[in-house]
């Protein structure tokens, strides 16, 4: 395994960082002002997108793009450092057409959409002309376990009819959101079908009659302008051709969607943690109390050191996951799934710890909106739930470990030194 950034990644990262510093950072205060004034997306965003695309900094995330689709075709491993760079500024990814949940939705459409669906939804998404949301979670059931989902879909003539309620649907309040990819329970239930074959994915236009965005839910009192929305679906009727993939294949497709998306989330997290550590170290060098700089206190030094060690550990694990995804079928799918589950837990824990320390170094200012720390902390807290809670990922890692152990059950006793083994040493000849 070689995680050294390729020459292509190094060149792109240098250009991306320069673009971010030259065009995006100077607009950051105006971005916040615009959102605060209720103007979202800010008027300059489209100009920045056009510029990024002209500079070849566009769709950096999708390895399998076709020849006629715009983008760079980087591997997951090559893209990871670029996601880290973008993570430092939460609105940056959209400028490069690399923002969640569109990236996951694009991957989904790329793999499973029919030619007509590609033309209607995938092409505009790849060109950044629209945005989309992925609607799985529901308020009335534990959505960690998607077999619980209750939103229904049934066939009626040449139509699919949906009913239910979704919530925390990221991106649904974005004014350019045109598509909801909705995971629904098939009705009537099919006798004998496995619990994992009873759901389907339906492509629902955001403005379809019966779709009602009820509210944009605040996350720890922070309202994301693109929204984490509660959505009511009441007798929503779409043509049968809006079924994505096969009837009953919703679960399998949801799994496929989440792998690369988690690597992106984790690398963006690492970018935020790097920035938080940098800010904390600078603050510790400048701020004095009781006759000493904060950087001279042993506990502050420990915090900085622990953050450095944990960030570097996490980055290596995430790069390994990206590398594993790039190996495709050469590696067992179960091993890749377990690794992706592991990084999701590691990244959420990392962000909570590193941000908490950085905020402590900053004093009260760390809680204010004047630095990015408070927003990063909030995001880190949410990360413990997004794409499934930590406990479910831990369960996946443990199940994989136990499955491995089952295949070699008993082999561990070779390492024992029981009295019986000690009394009866084997003969060499
Ligand atoms: C900011 C944000 C954005 C989101 N964006 C989206 C989105 O775009 N689309 C979407 O569909 N959803 C989205 N979600 C929802 C997210 O996917 C769910 O919150 C998550 O899957 C958990 O479901 P739940 O909230 O129903 O928790 P529940 O399923 O009710 O679980 C509650 C708790 O039970 C415990 N638990 C559950 N299962 C186990 C287990 N097997 N072992 C041990 N403990 C367990 C865990 O501690 C868990 O936190 C978002 C959430 C947030 C916070």
Give the pLDDT confidence of 297-349 residue by residue, as tens digits. 999 999 999 999 999 999 999 999 999 999 999 999 999 999 999 999 999 99
Q: Which residues line ligand 1 (CB under 6 A)?
A: 101, 134-137, 142-144, 168-170, 219, 228, 382, 385-389, 391-392, 395
Strand 177-186 and strand 131-135: the pairing is parallel
| Cα gap 4→7, rounded to integer Å | 9
* pLDDT for 45: 97
Nearest to 160, CA basis, from 137, 132, 182: 182
pLDDT band, residue 276 (cuts 50/70/90): very high
Phi, then psi, of 68 in degrees rounded to 5: -90, 10
Four-residue CA torsion sign, 235, 101, 400, 272 = negative
State the sign of the Cα–Cα–Cα–Cα dihedral 169, 175, 176, 179.
positive
Please give the Cα distance from 287 to 283 (Å, whole number): 6
Whether pLDDT at 193 is above 90: no
pTM: 0.95
d(CA 184, ligand 1 centre) in Å: 17
Kindly report, residue by residue over 20-41, the tens digit of the pLDDT. 999 999 999 999 999 999 999 9
Q: How many CA atoms lie within 13 A of 408 on its CB side?
A: 7
Q: Angle CA(34)–CA(382)–CA(248) in degrees, nearest 5?
A: 105
Which residue among 169, 213, 389 has the greatest number of ligand 1 atoms within 8 angstroms of its CB, and so is best to mutate?
389
Q: Which domains does the chain have, with CATH numbers?
A: 7-113 (1.10.540.10), 131-244 (2.40.110.10), 251-409 (1.20.140.10)
Tell me, letter by letter, the H, E, C secondary structure of 113-142.
CCHHHHHHHHHHHHCCCCEEEEECCCCCCC
Average pLDDT over residues 280-302: 98
């Amino acid at each position: 395994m070689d995680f050294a950034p390729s020459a292509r990644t190094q060149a792109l990262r240098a250009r991306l960082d320069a673009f971010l510093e030259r065009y995006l950072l100077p607009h950051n205060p105006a971005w916040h002002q615009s959102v605060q004034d209720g103007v979202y997306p800010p008027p300059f965003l489209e100009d920045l997108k056009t510029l990024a695309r002209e500079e070849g900094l566009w769709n950096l995330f999708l390895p399998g793009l076709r020849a006629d689709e715009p983008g760079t075709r980087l591997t997951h491993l090559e893209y990871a450092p670029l996601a880290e760079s973008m993570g430092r500024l939460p609105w940056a990814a959209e400028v490069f057409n690399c923002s969640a949940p569109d990236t996951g939705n694009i991957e989904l459409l790329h793999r499973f959409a029919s030619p007509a669906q590609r033309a209607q939804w995938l092409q505009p998404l790849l060109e950044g002309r629209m945005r989309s949301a992925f609607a799985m979670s529901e308020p009335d059931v534990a959505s960690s376990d998607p077999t619980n989902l209750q939103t229904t879909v049934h066939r009626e003539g040449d139509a699919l009819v949906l009913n239910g309620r979704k919530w925390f649907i990221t991106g649904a309040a974005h004014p350019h959101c045109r598509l909801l990819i909705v995971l629904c329970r098939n009705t009537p239930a099919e006798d004998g079908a496995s619990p994992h074959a009873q759901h389907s994915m339906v492509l629902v236009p955001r403005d379809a009659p019966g779709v009602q965005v009820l509210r944009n839910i605040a996350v720890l009192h922070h309202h994301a302008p693109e929204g984490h929305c509660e959505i009511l679906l009441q007798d929503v009727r779409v043509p049968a051709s809006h079924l994505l993939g096969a009837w009953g294949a919703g679960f399998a497709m949801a799994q496929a969607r989440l792998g690369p998306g988690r690597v992106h989330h984790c690398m963006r997290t690492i970018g935020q943690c790097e920035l938080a550590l940098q800010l904390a170290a600078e603050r510790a060098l400048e701020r004095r109390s009781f006759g000493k700089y904060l950087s001279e206190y042993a506990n502050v030094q420990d915090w900085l050191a622990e953050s450095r060690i944990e960030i570097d550990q996490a980055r290596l694990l995430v790069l390994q996951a990206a590398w594993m995804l790039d190996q495709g079928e050469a590696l067992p799918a179960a091993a890749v799934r377990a690794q992706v589950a592991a990084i999701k837990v590691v990244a959420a824990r990392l962000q909570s710890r590193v941000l908490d320390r950085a905020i402590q170094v900053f004093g009260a200012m760390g809680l204010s909106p004047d630095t990015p720390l408070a927003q990063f902390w909030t995001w880190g807290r949410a990360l413990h739930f997004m794409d499934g809670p930590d406990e479910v990922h831990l369960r996946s890692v443990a199940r994989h470990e136990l499955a491995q152990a089952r295949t070699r059950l008993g082999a561990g006793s070779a390492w024992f030194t029981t009295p019986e083994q000690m009394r009866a040493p084997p003969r060499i000849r």
